[in-house]
Amino acid sequence: MQQLDDDASGHEFVTIPELARLVRRNRKTVYNWITGGQIGEADGLFVVLGRMLIHWPTFRARQFKPREKLRGQLPDYDEEVTNGLVGKGPTRPAASRV
């Protein structure tokens, strides 16, 4: 099975069936995205001699979340701490926690 990398298909441009395989969806689903407007020229869609092609690096950059934002990673709270939105100490005395 192919990975979702820039060199996954060996080419910068992929066909609709190749795109469907890369994003693990049905070919008809990808065509529905195109007709519905979820995928367009800004996402790398080109029509060359009547054949739809997708510029894979553009599509990947516009449609997928950056790897830094993946689930399971801890958020960075530095800005909240410096702006005083996060408490820096206990909210109540330790004696009353018993």
User: pLDDT tens, 32-72?
Assistant: 999 999 999 999 999 999 999 999 999 988 887 665 555 66
pLDDT digits (tens, 9 = 90+) for 2-31: 444 544 546 799 999 999 999 999 999 999
Print the domain residue range for 38: 13-81
Residue 74 vs residues 19, 52, 71, 77: alpha-carbon distances, Å: 31, 40, 9, 9
Note whether residue 6 is domain-resident.
no
Instruction: State yes or no: pLDDT of 77 exceeds 80.
Output: no
Encoding tokens for residue 55? 């510029």
3-class state of residue 40 by DSSP: coil
Given this model, what pLDDT does residue 36 score? Answer: 93
Q: Report the pLDDT value the prediction gives residue 76, as an integer from 0 to 100.
A: 63
Strands laid side by side in the 45-48 sheet? 13-15, 51-55, 45-48
Count the domains in the chain: 1
Q: What local confidence, expressed as pLDDT, does residue 35 receive?
A: 93
Residue 37 lies in a domain: yes
pLDDT for 73 equals 61
74 is a domain residue? yes
